[in-house]
Every structure is written in structure tokens, then in C-alpha cells.
Structure 1
Amino acid sequence: MASFGKGESHMSDAEDIKLATISDQATNLARRVNVGDITRRGARRHRDKIAVIMGETRLTYGELDARANRIAHGLLAMGLGNGARIGGLARNSIDFLTLYFAAAKAGAIFCPSNPAIPDADLVHILGHAEVSAIFIDPDRHQQFTAVASQVPSIRKIFSVGGNGQADSQLDSLAVIAEGQPAIDPETVTGDRDVAMIMYTSGTTSAPKGAMLSHINVTTGAVHNAFAGEVDENTIATAILPLFHCGQLSISSGTLMRGGTVVVFDGFEPAALLDAIARERITWLFALPAMYRALLAHKDLDNTDVSSLAFCLYAMAPMDPSTLREASRRLKARFALTSGQTEAYPPTVVFAPEFQLTKHGAFWGRAMPLVDLAIMDDDGRLVEDGSVGEIVYRGPMVMEGYLKDPEATARAFEGGWFHSGDLGRFDEDSLLLFVDRKKDIIKSGGENVSSVKVESCLLAHPAVRAAAIVGVPHSRWSEAVVAAVCLLPGSVEDEGQLIAHCKQTLAPFEVPKKIVFYRELPQTATGKLQKYQIRGELENLFRDQTN
């Protein structure tokens, strides 16, 4: 038995471990991971440097942090801190980005959603998350007031952004911030406390709320800065919606590294080209279809785009001819990143050095803090070259699905997060996407639940069976296509079925094409063989762009 001299500790190893894991306010503050720290640290390092730009508006790091702090104090004064859920239903704006950081500083949980989805879906999401307040575009006040009236937990509606438009019926972020201190409130948050709830379409029509902690979101920001080679000289775009995890994570990573974010209210090629020349943008994030639109624009060759150094794309691989042309005319390094809401993006990067030498649905290699593997249906990890489900481990993986322990347990089965995607590693250990295990279609940057669209079609009195698949498309990456069997005596009327879908689905969910079948391919046990339908329709849009 060991002996102890005077002043030596007699504490056992077990007691040492117990003390090391005690969590209180002081220790949580000392080791704090909070999304809002991105602006605070940025202000400390780059107080007078421009952090964000939108049109004629410019905010330095010091101004951005002070504004976020004042809003955070205002939220706390109204009881919208300490786990309160606040919804963001708005277009891109500096206000929206500031609210994201302010909510984190206050300890609130930010719940951004696509304002274009059907009102019934918004009611479900806001009600399921038990949102207390929503922040909206002021020009949609009437619509969202009606939505809020169906969600008992919502107590207040505020305006955010709105391109300078005022709405006397709504308090703005400026009203919330008025008279509040510009210092960080230093709320106590644990690294695994939930910072955001983002809803993602699953294999059923009801979206699931992915609970994302401060460490999840911060890890995503670090990975984006790493994958995008971001530094203090980076001037990056925020064109894609900030209510999506991809753009929000990229903007966070840019600010974490001391770069500048140029915010756009949507994509318009002429406006983007003008901004590249005017602001000397160095870093562009866009979908493959957006790059094609830039290449086709009449003003590209007459615009000074020499500042561009790095171009990121996502959601789908870019075809080799477009990639070669974009690399030549934009004179920038290209990379592809991939991820999903539940494993806060990016998880993998298809780096510039492989872009013009490897062709196919490559997703690349895992980010530094990500373990990436392929698993078979029996839960065993398989060797390179074998096809199986893509699974992840790492600090970017969500805390779980809100109020859905069964789905959470399935997602984490075997100690890995299950992506629902199928893939394999090639001879260079690069991940190749093979197919989707889950019935999710990624069209124009939006996730579309095939089951939801199928349910809509099956509600039509003429439809006997329906299968929704994603078909390659030059503009949408994947177009939503319906394979439909009609009841005997019904007339094939594509326009009527599409009009029926438009009554209940969001625009991006509506099928681009209806293909009529006498019988849908099935297994002996009656399960749909969607891979056969995809194969039959893969050239449906070969010569189309709309």
C-alpha cells in the first residue's frame, strides 16, 4: 500500500475522477463553447475590420459583436434565454445572421426554417419545437400571424431583415436591442447544450428536429474554414439561404477565421458578378446549377473576376465539362463538400487536387474531426471497395432527434451515426456516393421526402400507385419525378396531377414530370424497386435545363 507524506493527497483515483467531472457555472464558463463566441473573439482580434456586407451596409467585427450582445441582452430581458426556442423564418440579411449569434449568446435555441414551405408544415415544426417567438420578414406579417395563431407556444412575433422595410405592427431587432449593454452577457452554456434545432425531412412526411449543440455547430465552422482554406483575407459569399445549415456553417467558419461575409438576398447572376468585381470577392459558395448560370451569363467575360481564388460547391457533383470550363474561366480552385443536418456539415471534402482527375459521385475524404466508415446491414464495418451505409463519428454529430427517442436510437445504433446513404471507398480512400438508403431527393439544394410527395399523389382519386424518384437534371441536380399507375378508366392527365400537387406541396416538392406506368416494378414480396425506375428515367432530362 502506498504511503503519503505530509501535505500529500490521500484521495483515491475514483475521487479524482469524480472531482474532474463536476460541472458548475464556473467550470462551464471557463471551458465554454458557445456559437456566439465567434463574434466576441472576432471583435477582440479584428475590431475595426469589416465582418459583414450587404448592399451598402457594412459592419465591423466590433459593431457586429456589439449588436449581437445588445440583442442577446434584450432577449434575456424578455425571458427568451436559458433554452427558450426562437424561430427564424426569413430571407437572408445581416439581421438574420446577427440574430443567430445573439440567440446563442443568450442561451436560447435558434430554430431556423424555410419560410417557403407550406403553412401546415410550419405549424407542425413550430409547434413540435415549442417555439416561443418567431422572427419573420415584415412583408409576410399577415401570413405568419395566421401560422402563429395555430401554435399555442408562440407569444411574440418580431421582424428581422426586410430590406429596410418598416412594419409598425412588429418590433424589430433594433427595438429589442435599444438601451441594452454592448458587452457579452456571458450566459452559462455547456458544450453539449442545444444551440439549434433544424428540421430535416425523413422517410415519413413529418420532418424530424435535429438537436444541434454548441460543439456540433462550432465543429462545423472549424471544418468549413479548414476545407475552404479560409483566412483573414477571405471575402466570402452568403448566397444560399442562411436558414440552411450549409450556408450558416460556412458563414460562421469565415467569421471564425477573420474573413468577411457578403450577404445576398438570393441568387441572381448579374448581381453576383457585379458584387465580385465591386467587393473583390475571393471565395464563392454556390450550387452546380448556379455556376452553370454564371458561365452562361453574357457579362462574365467583361467582368473582373480576378479576385476569385476558391469556389466551393455542394449538394451534388459537378459534371466534368462544367468543372473544366468553370476552372478555366473563373481561374479558381474548386472543391466539393458534403454533409447533412444531423452530422453538422461538412463531414467530407472532395479537395481541389482531385477535382479534374477523379470523375464520378465522389465525396472525398473525412474532415479532421470526423471518423468515416462503411457498414453492412449486420452492423459490421466493411473493407475498402465494398458498398454499405456511410456512418460517422465525431463532435459534429447531433445530440439526437427532438421528442423522438426511437429514431435517435436507430440513428446511433452500434455506436455510429447512420447517414442513410450508401457508399464505398475507392483505391485512394476517397468516398464514392452510391445511392440513398433513405428516400430523400436533393433537388435545387432542398431535401424532398419522396414519401410525402407519394402520399399527396395517392390522395388523388385517379391514382392507384405512385413512386417518387430523383432523376439527374442539369439545373436541379436531381429533379423530382413521379412514376404513377392510374386506376382503370382514368385518363392520363399530367397537368391535372401536377396542379393537384401544387395545392399542398412546396414548389420544390412538386414533381417536374409525371411518367405513367401500367405496373411499377416490385420484388416478390411487393416492395418497390425504385432503382429500376431511376435507371429507366435517368436520361429523361438529358437535353433540358428547366
Structure 2
Amino acid sequence: MPPPPNPALYQTSTFAELYRSAFKAFAHREALVASGAGPRLTYRQLEQQCHRMVRCFQALGLQRQDGIAVLATNRPESVATIIAAHLMGLVYTPLHPLGSEEDQAFILVDAQAKALVVDVQRHAERGLALAQRQLVPHVLTLGPAAYGTDLLAASSGLDGSDTVLDVQPDDIVKIAYSGGTTGQSKGIVHHQRTVVTSALQQLACWEWPEQVRFLAATPVSHAAGAMILTTFLQGGAVHLLERFTPAGFLQAVAAERITTTFLVPTQIYGLLDAPELGAHDIASLRLVLYGAAPMAPARLRQALDRLGPVFAQVYGQAEAPMTISYLRRDAHDLAHPERLGSCGRSLPGNQVRLLDADHAEVPVGELCVRGPLVMSGYLDRPQETAKAFAGDWLHTGDMARRDADGYLYLVDRAKDMIISGGFNVYSSEVESCLAQHPAVALSAVIGVPHPKWGEAVMAVVVLKDGARVEAAELIAHVTDRKGVVQAPKVVEFVDALPLTALDKVDKKALRARYWAGQARQVG
């Protein structure tokens, strides 16, 4: 046998190398387009701006693997900042633009960030509050401000030529923080391996149109940001929508002939209910990726009827981002309506098993993952990391089943399962049933305290504009289709459901109303 080769022989590429390859391959194409009348940058112009920012970071004394946090919105300057961090090998931590000051301050300390970058067009007040806490050595602003250093001004006169940087394949590229829906946010550590794997799986398995004009309608700090590199590797253009509204989205698609986008279900529901939907030519759309939360099959059928066969579902989580599984466009087949409730098949490179509490494979169990997509662990939380990796699998917390054709179906989050009188009730199934009622726009089903059954099924319902329905009718609707165990015992009508910063229904906030003071808490 020959002697074992140096492990460096088998190391993966880096995010920095992938960005560089796109910049060189498509130098004169349009890369980044701002909302409205904002700037339109070619790949060469974007590359130069990124390298000027890198030199500014270096002049401040930042070094490879130092942490940098970014509080920004969907602007070209924000995207350039994030790419510059990747080119330099900094550890990038996004701060959600709708996060609280206390959560953002906690993240800056927990991640040991050396620099904070603030988009002062939208976040001047929050940036000032964080700067006054003196949590990081350097506060940089995207534009002039009464505090910090203006990154745009400081970098404008610097050399924009390529910088030779020593980014390594085993470097940490990102620390992403969970939304804190189950307590204190956790720093999720991703090395280069994770993000490169996700990008390559996106390229190989997602059904990109021939010409990619991607509309970033969710924050680039989160889901939309994961699709920037894969758009660039195809020579496509990223169009930035600063704030999602149905009318603004439809106008942007029509004006720029957008071919692909990513939306969360609540945004799709907003489009379907918008009076402007039929007033714009959006025939250019070829691929609408959706994910981040379950989508009611009844609403998905409505979306297919109104927008056509353009929908594909992505499934992942912060610990294994975006590409655990994928439901192709052709699987959104009304001849097989059951598949509209699926999150697709697992993608090549991932091992996916459904496991019980003893880590034995079962027909319905927790969806667990192995492979290079999986995080490295939680930052400085060895016990929580060990729990997430019990049995040498990543435990997603999602309960699922798999059919004979390999399609996965999420039946609920493990913590969203309601146990009523000893029976398991999956809230997502009840929500899907309620969505089939013509009066229901959106619902959230939770368990509430009950002296006899432990938990009772409760539905919090938003009705469509002008619709009227009695609670008894909705209870009977679910009873007829799902049985009395699954049917809500209580229905509450509200004007709107609380949403998290990622536009997901905030069930933790809903539960808090009913479980305050209880010895046992859910969620």
C-alpha cells in the first residue's frame, strides 16, 4: 500500500474561491441590482468594491477568523460587506434586522465579534444603541453617522484590485444564531464545508431557469443570502427588494423580468390574497422556491392554479441549511395531491433517517441527518451540541414519515405535537385541514392546558377579508375530515397572528398567553 497522502490533498474549496471564480467568469455581466432607481453593479464593479472593503478591514487590524457582525437590509452595500468578509476569511454573523436590541447585544458578546457593521439608512438608532454599549472594538457604518467609522467613505479611495488572502478550507465561515424560540439563542457554527456543500447541492439539484434573475424578497442576512453565491456561479443577477409587500414584489417581477425567487409561506399567502395579483405581467417567473415553514396544501393548490407550475420546496434548518431535501416542480402534481404535503426527497450527499428515542429507525420518527451539510456544533455549548448529535446524527426536531417513493412528510415539530388524553395530535395536520375551509386565511394550532386531557387542541384563526364563520362550523369541518381527537376544542378569531423576525408564525408567543403560571410549559 502506498503511504497515506497529506490530508490537504482532499480539502474542499472555500466560499472565497467560489466567489472569485464567479467574479472572473462573468466580469462584465450585471450582478447586483438595487430596489427602485438604486445602483446596478457589474461583477467587476462588485468585486472591486469588495476588495476595497477588505483593505479597509485590514487597515483596522482585523485578521482572518476574527468575527464580524452585520446589521443591514437588502442593499448592494450590505451584500458587498458580507462578500468582503468571506473573501477575507472573517467569521460572519448576521443580526436579524427585526431582532431586539437585547438579542443583538447578546449575540455580539457571545460570538466575540471584533467589528459591527450597521446600515444606517435603516438602522441608525439601533446601531447607536449598540455602539454606546461598547461591546465590539470597531463599529462601522454604511454611510455617514454620528458614531463609528463610515466604511463606504473609508474604503472608497482604496485599491480595488484582487487581494491575496489565506482563507483555509477548515476555517469557520459563519456563526448563525437560532431565533431563540426555545430560550436563549445558540450560535450555530458552520465551517467552509457546510456552506460549500449547500451551494453545490443547490447548483446540482434545484431547477434553476436558463437565465437567473433572482429577486431577494427575504433578508439577505438569512434565507435569500444563501442563494446569492449560487446565482453568481451561474452568471445571474441578484435583484434586491428592501421590504416585501405584495404590490412591490409584483412590480419588481414585472419590471425586471424576474425568473426566480424565494418566499416563505406567509408571503405567498399575501400574494394570493392581494388584489394586485392579476394586474401585473409576471409570466417571466420560472421558479418560486419556498420553505422555512410548512405550507398548507390547500393554499399551495391555490398558488399552482394562480401562478402555474413554478413552485419548488426547499427544506433545511439553521443547523443544516437549505438543502436537506427538495420537492421538485413536477412533484407539485395535482394528480398526486398527497405530495403537496411533502418536503421532497433527501438530496445526494445527505443521509436521512427517521429515528425513535433509542435511535432505531421507525416509520414515523424524528428526522435525523448525517453528511457534510451538518453544522460543526453550537458555540461554547457542549451539552447542547451533544444532545443535538446524540447517536452520531443531527436531530432536527422535526417528526416525519417517508412513503414508498422516498418522499418525506413533516408531520410536525416535535415540540409542536399536542398530547391530548394520551393521543398525539399533529398541529400541522389540523392547520392544513382548516386551510381547506373557504373562510380561513391562516391558522395556528396549539395545545392549551386542560384539567382532564392535559392539553386541549386550540385553533387561532385569521379569516379572509369579508368572510364570516362560526367556531362550531370550523370544529365540525375538522371533525368530519380528521376525527374528534384532532378537532379543535376552542377556536379564537384574531385579525393577525404574531410572526417571528423570519415571518414564521410565532407559536411561542401564542402559547405564552395560555401557559403562564403553569408548572408544565410547552414550546
> Structure 1 residues 299 and 476 mapped into 2: Cα distance closer, same or farther (>3 Å)?
closer
Shift of 1:147: 2.6
**Distance (Å, rounded) in 2 between the aligned partners of 1:476 and 1:212:** 37
Shift of 1:242: 1.5
> Structure 1 residues 72 and 415 mapped into 2: Cα distance closer, same or farther (>3 Å)?
same
> Structure 1 residues 117 and 528 mapped into 2: Cα distance closer, same or farther (>3 Å)?
closer
> Would you say the 8 A contact 1:34–1:105 is kept in 2?
no
Whether 2:46 is the aligned partner of 1:76: answer: no
> Structure 1 residues 440 and 484 mapped into 2: Cα distance closer, same or farther (>3 Å)?
closer
Q: Secondary structure at the match of 2:20?
A: helix
**Distance (Å, rounded) in 1 between the aligned partners of 2:243 and 2:309:** 22
Shift of 1:478: 6.5
**Distance (Å, rounded) in 2 between the aligned partners of 1:113 and 1:242:** 11
> Structure 1 residues 211 and 265 mapped into 2: Cα distance closer, same or farther (>3 Å)?
same
**Distance (Å, rounded) in 2 between the aligned partners of 1:367 and 1:305:** 30
> Would you say the 8 A contact 1:123–1:151 is kept in 2?
no
Partner of 1:324: 301
Matched letter for residue 6 of structure 2: A
287-296 or 431-440, which deviates more: 431-440
Deviations 1:378-433 (A, max 9, x none): 12233xxx111111112111111111122222222222211121111112111111
Partner of 1:364: 344
Partner of 2:19: 39
359-368 or 204-213, which deviates more: 359-368
What is the RMSD of the two structures over their aligned residues, measured on CA atoms?
Answer: 3.4
Q: Secondary structure at the match of 1:81?
A: coil
Shift of 1:480: 8.4
Q: Secondary structure at the match of 1:86?
A: strand
**Distance (Å, rounded) in 1 between the aligned partners of 2:394 and 2:443:** 25
> Would you say the 8 A contact 2:389–2:395 is kept in 1?
yes
Q: Secondary structure at the match of 2:343?
A: strand
> Would you say the 8 A contact 2:326–2:346 is kept in 1?
yes
**2:274 counterpart (284, 297, 311):** 297
Matched letter for residue 279 of structure 2: N
**1:376 counterpart (346, 353, 356):** 356
Shift of 1:211: 0.7
Please show how residues 129-208 of structure 1 align to structure 2 within 5 Å. 129-138=111-120, 139-150=122-133, 152=135, 154-160=136-142, 166-167=144-145, 169-201=147-179, 204-208=182-186
**Distance (Å, rounded) in 2 between the aligned partners of 1:216 and 1:433:** 23
**1:347 counterpart (324, 334, 348):** 324
Partner of 1:20: 6
> Structure 1 residues 332 and 434 mapped into 2: Cα distance closer, same or farther (>3 Å)?
closer
Partner of 1:115: 97
Partner of 1:493: none
Deviations 1:282-337 (A, max 9, x none): 11211222222223323322311111111111123433443333223323421111
**Distance (Å, rounded) in 1 between the aligned partners of 2:516 and 2:348:** 50
Contiguous gaps of at least 5 residues in structure 2: 419-426, 452-493
**1:388 counterpart (365, 370, 382):** 365
Whether 2:77 is the aligned partner of 1:95: answer: yes
**Distance (Å, rounded) in 2 between the aligned partners of 1:516 and 1:527:** 11
510-519 or 315-324, which deviates more: 510-519
> Structure 1 residues 529 and 341 mapped into 2: Cα distance closer, same or farther (>3 Å)?
closer
Shift of 1:209: 0.2
> Structure 1 residues 476 and 79 mapped into 2: Cα distance closer, same or farther (>3 Å)?
farther
Question: Normalized against structure 2, the TM-score is what?
Answer: 0.78
Shift of 1:102: 0.5
**Distance (Å, rounded) in 2 between the aligned partners of 1:324 and 1:481:** 25
> Would you say the 8 A contact 1:196–1:212 is kept in 2?
yes
Matched letter for residue 258 of structure 2: I
> Structure 1 residues 482 and 157 mapped into 2: Cα distance closer, same or farther (>3 Å)?
farther
**Distance (Å, rounded) in 2 between the aligned partners of 1:416 and 1:175:** 47
304-313 or 185-194, which deviates more: 185-194
Matched letter for residue 152 of structure 2: A
Matched letter for residue 251 of structure 2: D
Deviations 1:131-167 (A, max 9, x none): 1111112153343333344354x0121223xxxx643
**Distance (Å, rounded) in 2 between the aligned partners of 1:437 and 1:102:** 38
**1:85 counterpart (67, 86, 94):** 67
Matched letter for residue 227 of structure 2: I
**Distance (Å, rounded) in 2 between the aligned partners of 1:506 and 1:362:** 22
> Would you say the 8 A contact 2:88–2:167 is kept in 1?
no
> Would you say the 8 A contact 2:115–2:137 is kept in 1?
yes
**1:219 counterpart (165, 190, 197):** 197
Partner of 1:7: none
Partner of 2:226: 249
Deviations 1:359-395 (A, max 9, x none): 364111112221111112112233xxx1111111121
Q: Secondary structure at the match of 1:349?
A: strand
**Distance (Å, rounded) in 1 between the aligned partners of 2:417 and 2:126:** 28
Whether 2:240 is the aligned partner of 1:263: answer: yes
> Structure 1 residues 518 and 317 mapped into 2: Cα distance closer, same or farther (>3 Å)?
closer
> Would you say the 8 A contact 2:350–2:369 is kept in 1?
yes
**Distance (Å, rounded) in 1 between the aligned partners of 2:60 and 2:254:** 43
**1:125 counterpart (79, 83, 107):** 107
Q: Secondary structure at the match of 2:373?
A: coil
134-143 or 397-406, which deviates more: 134-143
**Distance (Å, rounded) in 1 between the aligned partners of 2:188 and 2:76:** 25
Whether 2:37 is the aligned partner of 1:59: answer: no
Please identify the structure whose Cα radius of gyration is greater: 1
**1:411 counterpart (368, 388, 402):** 388
**Distance (Å, rounded) in 2 between the aligned partners of 1:348 and 1:421:** 13
Matched letter for residue 390 of structure 1: L
Q: Secondary structure at the match of 1:237?
A: strand
> Would you say the 8 A contact 1:312–1:337 is kept in 2?
yes
Q: Secondary structure at the match of 1:388?
A: strand
Q: Secondary structure at the match of 2:344?
A: strand
> Structure 1 residues 480 and 221 mapped into 2: Cα distance closer, same or farther (>3 Å)?
farther
> Would you say the 8 A contact 1:484–1:514 is kept in 2?
no
> Structure 1 residues 477 and 419 mapped into 2: Cα distance closer, same or farther (>3 Å)?
farther
